[in-house]
Amino acid sequence: MKKIKNALVILAGGIGTRFGKKLPKQFIEINGENLIQFFLRRIDTTNFNIIVIVHKKSYSKYINKIKINFPSNQFLFVNAGKNRQQSSFNGLIKLKQYQPENVLIHDAARPFVGKGLITKSLDQLKTNVAVCPGLPLTDTIASVTNNKVSKIIDREKVYRLQTPQSFNFKILSKCHNMIDESVTDDISIILHFGYVPKIIKGSDKNMKITYKSDLKIIKSLI
């Protein structure tokens, strides 16, 4: 099979327990579209040869709406794993036959990624094995033990990382195959093996919907 240039993996298998609703947060609707559809409408999908959506089997009725609105062989669908790490790996396995040069891993609960951020991420992958958007912190950051401050952390060295996290596909796949411990995201995996990700400027609008109160902020951005 002919190799492809760019692929996008959308992680949509989360339960969203902190969101406080039975409906998983990635499937709440904004102007009649769930967050995945809303995200796909905002970006230039032609940047990607293949888009993989990773989801739980029980979410099929929500996924079917995406299939109807985006009826294209550009889209692939795969079952989520028991955690984010396994879900991301399942997406990479689905892409193995296509051997993309680059892959972007994105959280479905971040619908406000701009076209510019994706373009910049892809551009930075020309000279870096991994790229991640992030924002510096403005508040004082403390290490806390048993509800007591034990240390003030230098905020100049701390960033809030966002998605999409972008990678050389072969390197990320190799690291996933070798990792033998649980990590929180794909940047953590390649760091574990000594690769150094490039940080690019993220956006305050690229927030992750976590709590019901975040919906008010989201609606104000539309």
Q: What is the pLDDT of residues 126-146, one digit of tens each?
A: 999 999 999 999 899 999 999
Q: Is residue 1 part of a domain?
A: no
Decide which of 195 and 114 is more confident: 195
pLDDT per residue as tens digits for the range 14-70: 765 555 466 778 888 888 888 999 999 999 999 999 999 999 998 888 888 889 888
Q: Where residue 58 sits, what CATH number does that domain have?
A: 3.90.550.10
Q: Which domain, by its residues, includes 61?
A: 6-221
Q: Is residue 137 part of a domain?
A: yes
The highest-confidence range among 21-25, 106-110, 154-158, 207-211, by mean pLDDT, is 106-110
- Residue 48: φ, ψ to 5°: -120, 130
pTM for the complete prediction?
0.92
Q: Is residue 157 part of a domain?
A: yes
Q: Is residue 66 part of a domain?
A: yes
Number of structural domains the chain divides into: 1
Q: Is residue 75 part of a domain?
A: yes
The residue to which tokens 């809030």 are assigned: 160
CA pair distance 200, 166, nearest whole angstrom: 11
Residue 106 exposed, middle or buried by CB count within 10 Å (0-12, 13-18, 19+): buried
pLDDT (0 to 100) of residue 102? 98
pLDDT (0 to 100) of residue 13? 83
Q: Is residue 89 part of a domain?
A: yes
Q: Is residue 104 part of a domain?
A: yes
